[in-house]
Amino acid sequence: MRTDLIFIKNKAAEIIDDINSLDNIKKIGISQFIETSYNIQKNAEKLCLSARLLPLKSGFSKAKQEIGKTMIKETGICVGMLNQKWIKITLPALLPKKETGGVEYIRDSLNVALNEYMKKHERELMKEPVIMIFHHIYSSVHKGRRYRDHDNIEINAVADVVTLNFLTDDNPNYCQHFQYTTLGETDHTEIYLIPTTDFSEWVSEFYEYDMEKQEGK
Tens digit of pLDDT for each residue in 43-61? 777 777 777 667 766 666 6
Amino acid (one-letter) located at 193:
L
Low pLDDT (below 50) residues in the chain: none
pLDDT of 14 reads 86
* Concatenated DSSP letters of the chain: -HHHHHHHHHHHHHHHHHHHHTS-HHHH-HHHHHHHHHHHHHHHHHHHHHHHHGGGGGT-TTHHHHHHHHHHHHH--EEEEETTTEEEEEESSPPPBTTSS-HHHHHHHHHHHHHHHHHHS--PPB-S-EEEEEEEEEEGGGTTSPPPPGGGB--HHHHHHHHHHHBS--STTTEEEEEEEEEESS-EEEEEEEEGGGHHHHIIIIIHHHHHHHHT-
Torsional sign, CA 160, 162, 165, 167: negative
Edge to edge, what strands does the sheet with 78-82 contain?
A: 78-82, 86-91, 188-195, 130-139, 175-184
Confidence (pLDDT) at 160 = 92
- The span from the CA of 158 to the CA of 154, in Å, is 8
Q: From 21, 210, 42, select the one nearest 202 (Cα to Cα).
A: 210
Cα 89 from chain centre: 10
| Predicted local confidence at residue 132, as pLDDT | 97
What CATH number is given for 62-215 in this structure?
3.30.1330.70
Q: Look up the pTM and report it.
A: 0.72
- Residue range 133-174, pLDDT digits in tens: 999 999 887 666 678 889 889 899 899 999 999 998 888 899
Domain ranges of the chain: 1-59, 62-215
- Per-residue pLDDT at 50: 75
pLDDT of residue 65: 62
